[in-house]
Structures are given as C-alpha cells and as structure tokens.
Amino acid sequence: MTSILPTAFFARDVLDVARDLLGCRVTHAGVTVRLTEVEAYAGAADPGSHAFRGRSPRTEVMFGRPGRLYVYFTYGMHWCANVVTGHEGAASAVLLRAGEVVAGHDLAAQRRPGVRPRDQARGPARLATTLGLGRAQNGLALVGARAAGRVEPPETPVDPAVVRTGPRVGVSGAGGDGEVFPWRFWLDGEPSVSAYRPGRPRNRHRGGDVAAP
C-alpha cells in the first residue's frame, strides 16, 4: 500500500517543502523517480521566479492550489516540472531538478533512448521527459481523488547529514547585482545530481531559464 503525500505537505513554506522532497518518489505515466535534487522559488519574494512580477497566463497555475504541477517550456525545446507549494494566491513552487529512476525502467529507456540510467532524470528537462511530463500536464494534480500522478515519502528517512544546500543552477538573484539565494537542495554523493553552473547577473526579470520557475 502506498502512502501518498497529502495537500498539507505541499501547503507549507517553499523552503521546507523543497528540503523535505529530497528522497521522495514521484510517479507519473508508468515511471517513478526518487528525487535527489530540487530548487525552491518563492514567487513575489524571489527575483528568480517566473511569478516575481505577478500573475500571467503562463504562471497562473503557480497561484492555485498546492500539490499541482507547474510545467513550463524553455529554450524552445524543453519542458520542466515544478510542484506548487504554499497557499492559493501566493505563488511558490519547487523545481524537480534531478532524480534516480526506481521503477518503470523500460519506459524510461524508451523516453530517453541511448542514455545511461544515471542520466535519465539528471537535470530538470530530462526528469520531465522521463516522467512523461509536458504541456498537457500543466496543472496536473498530485493529490486528491483525481490525481493523475503522486508523490510518496522516502522509503527510508533521509539522513540530514547528506543534505546539501547552495545557489540555484543558472540563477543569479536580484537586480543584476550577482546576489544568489542558497535555495538548491541535493543529496550528497548521488550520481544523478546535475552539474552546477552559476547564473549571469541580469538587469531585467528572467523569464525563460531552465531553472527559474
């Protein structure tokens, strides 16, 4: 019997949810990924967030109920998936940045042909592809009777000693001044964790980076 995480798990501060998602298992379309890396985005309080400047057709899902997916298209070729957190009306979300495929290996191989198992969900675009997430899954519920996907707690508790934090990948921070927010969380020693690259300071709101929901 599975133990699906309830709405209350997601209806909390985005930094708490992000940290607690490490080790959790996300299932959709026949594949399950154990999360090894995530990033938090805090909406109006976060210049790195798509929702920093308020509601838009693109970000509307982020202002809705927690426990739903915000899926966005980036660089004209990739989909990335985030879980909405907090409460309705105040956008925040956790980017599912990387993980390890733990079930549905054959399907994962079909979706990511010729890719080593450790790389199938290593990075947000690869993770979304492996889980079969795209435009149609924007707004998809992970909680409730009509949930089309699910998030389950870790099979074994995550040792706090292996949790690491640092700057988000490719995100500089506020106002083009180079400030960084240490809102990336990952499990130390996991081969599926993606490579870090720093963001370049910008003087305008970023809206299309692969790691900026």
Structural tokens at position 19: 């940290």
pLDDT of 79 reads 96
Is 153 domain-assigned? yes
Average pLDDT of the residues in 151-177: 84
Give the pLDDT confidence of 54-110 residue by residue, as tens digits.
888 889 999 999 999 999 998 778 999 999 999 999 999 999 999 999 999 999 999
State the pTM of this model.
0.90
Residue 19 pLDDT class (50, 70, 90 cuts) = very high
Among the listed residues 213, 140, 141, 155, the one whose alpha carbon sits nearest the alpha carbon of residue 35:
155
> Domain count of the chain?
1
Asked if pLDDT for residue 204 goes beyond 60, the answer is no
Give the pLDDT confidence of 96-147 residue by residue, as tens digits.
999 999 999 999 999 999 999 999 999 999 999 999 999 999 999 999 888 9
Domain that holds residue 130: 7-187
Alpha carbon dihedral 136, 95, 117, 134, in 10-degree steps, equals: 10
Give the pLDDT confidence of 29-50 residue by residue, as tens digits.
999 999 999 999 998 889 888 8
Is 198 domain-assigned? no
Is 15 domain-assigned? yes
The phi, psi pair for 166, rounded to 5°, reads -175, -175
Is 195 domain-assigned? no
What proportion of the chain, given as a percentage, has pLDDT over 70?
A: 88
| CATH code for the domain of 35 | 3.10.300.10
Distance CA 180, CA 100 (A): 27
Residue 171 pLDDT class (50, 70, 90 cuts) = confident
Give the pLDDT confidence of 60-70 residue by residue, as tens digits.
999 999 999 99
Is 194 domain-assigned? no
Is 208 domain-assigned? no
Among the listed residues 103, 81, 116, the one whose alpha carbon sits nearest the alpha carbon of residue 155:
103
